[in-house]
Amino acid sequence: MADKPDTVPAEPCLDPFALARALSGKHFIGGRFVPALSGRSFPVVNPATGAEVARAAEGDAADVAAAVEDAARAQKEWARMPARRRGALVHACAAAIRPHIEELGRLIALETGKALRTESRVEANTVADILEFFGGLGGELKGETVPFAPDVLSITVREPLGVVGAIIPWNVPMLLMSLKVAPALVAGNSVVVKSAEEAPLAVLRICEIMNRVLPPGVFNILSGFGPDCGGPLVAHPLVRKVTFTGSVETGKIVYRTAAEKLIPVTLELGGKSPMIVFADCDFDRTVQGALTSMRFTRQGQSCTAASRIYVERPIFDRFLAAMKAALDRMVMGDPLDERTDIGTIVSPAQYEKVRAYIEEGRATPGATAHLCSALPTDPALKKGLFLQPVIFTGLESSSRLVREEIFGPVTVLTPFDTPEQVLAWANDSDYGLAASVWTNNLKHALEFTHRLEAGLVQVNQNLVVQANLSYGGVKNSGLGKEASLEAMLEHFTHKKTIMMKMG
Ligand code: ADP
């Protein structure tokens, strides 16, 4: 497909194919759409059919320099604006986004293969909510008075860091971008986002819509490949903070580059989150909870997916059977079809990676792969990246399927006999992002919330990241927090100390 010169419609566009074409071949820099300086672009593919639906501008170091220099110029003026006024503008961005929620849901379903009803529309709804939450926090950028001496007024003030480089992944790109951009802007920074190769369109559209409200240059977005576009963004001397969500391997590369420049980073990396089910749980609710915890509707493509489920032995067999039966009732199909519960894997590379894990599990002596649901039969979807959800049983804790993040619809069910045993297993991981405990025993619940090594522990529920609640992992799961007031203050400002001698 050639780059299309279609103009991007200002009105909400419910035809995601037309909107994808219109957004083709563009970055958004300095308040307007621009092509890549090199003129290059790469394909955006519908994973449900394998068809190319758009081209994305292929950014490199030259585009990064253009965007960052523009953002640096715009930031000076933006930082001088009263904080509550900045917040009000970010809040107004939410109002601009709201009429586009359905459009954004459809567009993200098209580019990622996430089912519209169960996932994509849900994600689109979070964007305005996040912008409204942070938009109200401008007045919270407060400092302190420090009791130094009676004739010295000693205070601290919160100042922005400058240009923030934000690198985002493809699984929930609109939500994760909003969690970075909104607090960064309210705190007085400008932002340059590098979108994920697999999902550059919906986030580009959000940037364009927000730029109808924001001054030009404070929020810019580039598409491109990781090393060629993300790398130069992290390395650019005018980028004074990097916030990254992605894999552990790339997170370490980003951290090393940032270390050379001595700039702060926030890293939201992977997870291998345990779900612990006691026999005294509310059985039906917990079976349903296992499905949502594992994010099966998103093909398990979630950092917080409950990819290790430990079930107390007396209910193990019944739990496995109920979980499989519930998964079998879920419909795989066209992500844009309202009847579909489960869409596709995002890309051929991810598909192959997940398939390799499944093959390895199936070849492991003693292991059983319980294949669930059913592949779609529609011939139009025959090239789609559909993969049946799998529940593995009989895997040892040394298995790569128990230890590594698969980022696919694969979970491992293991029976346990004692609380101490399951706590040891749950904590025996390089990751520490999220965990959940399902029980009606208050003692177990309370003890486990304290002893589980994770940034987020939930009891009898397993929700995704929520505005106002700090989110971030320990161990290999990352550094720093997102989503909260604390995240805005600690990660997008620095505290300046001011001392004034009186007389
Ligand atoms: P995955 O592809 O498994 O989601 P990655 O960590 O590779 O995980 O990708 C997350 C984001 O990081 C994407 O936007 C990707 O383009 C970007 N990225 C990949 N490699 C680099 C790199 N060397 N420097 C900066 N960003 C990168």
Residue nearest to atom 27 of ligand 1 (CA): 226
| CA–CA gap between residue 278 and residue 319 (Å, rounded) | 11
Read off φ and ψ for residue 60, nearest 5 degrees: -140, -165
Cα-based distances in Å from 482 to 141, 220, 353, 465, 471? 16, 20, 28, 9, 5
| Nearest alpha-carbon partner for 300 in 172, 135, 209 | 172
| CA–CA gap between residue 28 and residue 208 (Å, rounded) | 7
Does 159 participate in catalysis according to the annotation? no
Residue type, 135: G
Structure tokens at 369: 């792969």
The one catalytic residue in 268, 405, 453, 482 is 268
User: Residue 434 forms beta bridges with which residues?
Assistant: 456
Q: Does residue 194 line the site of ligand 1, with CB under 6 A?
A: yes
* 503 residues of the chain, pLDDT tens digit each: 444 457 999 999 999 999 999 999 999 999 999 999 999 999 999 999 999 999 999 999 999 999 999 999 999 999 999 999 999 999 999 999 999 999 999 999 999 999 999 999 999 999 999 999 999 999 999 999 999 999 999 999 999 999 999 999 999 999 999 999 999 999 999 999 999 999 999 999 999 999 999 999 999 999 999 999 999 999 999 999 999 999 999 999 999 999 999 999 999 999 999 999 999 999 999 999 999 999 999 999 999 999 999 999 999 999 999 999 999 999 999 999 999 999 999 999 999 999 999 999 999 999 999 999 999 999 999 999 999 999 999 999 999 999 999 999 999 999 999 999 999 999 999 999 999 999 999 999 999 999 999 999 999 999 999 999 999 999 999 999 999 999 999 999 999 999 999 98
Domains of the chain: 28-41+55-81+141-269+477-497 (3.40.605.10), 274-473 (3.40.309.10)
Does 372 participate in catalysis according to the annotation? no
Supply the pTM of this predicted model: 0.97
Residue 100 makes CB contacts below 8 A (sequence gap 6+) with: 12, 205, 209
Q: Does residue 332 line the site of ligand 1, with CB under 6 A?
A: no
Residue nearest to atom 20 of ligand 1 (CA): 226
Q: How many helices (H) and strands (E) does the chain have?
A: 16, 21
| CA–CA gap between residue 184 and residue 161 (Å, rounded) | 9
CA 448 to chain centre: 26
For residue 300, count CB atoms less than 10 angstroms from its CB and return exposed for 0-12, middle for 13-18, buried for 19 or more.
buried
Neighbour tally for 33: CB within 10 Å = 18
Residue nearest to atom 19 of ligand 1 (CA): 226
Q: Does residue 169 line the site of ligand 1, with CB under 6 A?
A: yes
| CA–CA gap between residue 459 and residue 468 (Å, rounded) | 18
What is the 3-state secondary structure of 416-448? ECCHHHHHHHHHCCCEECEEEEECCCHHHHHHH
Residue type, 2: A
Strand, helix or coil for residue 159: strand
Strand, helix or coil for residue 326: helix
The H or E element that residue 500 is part of is strand 493-501
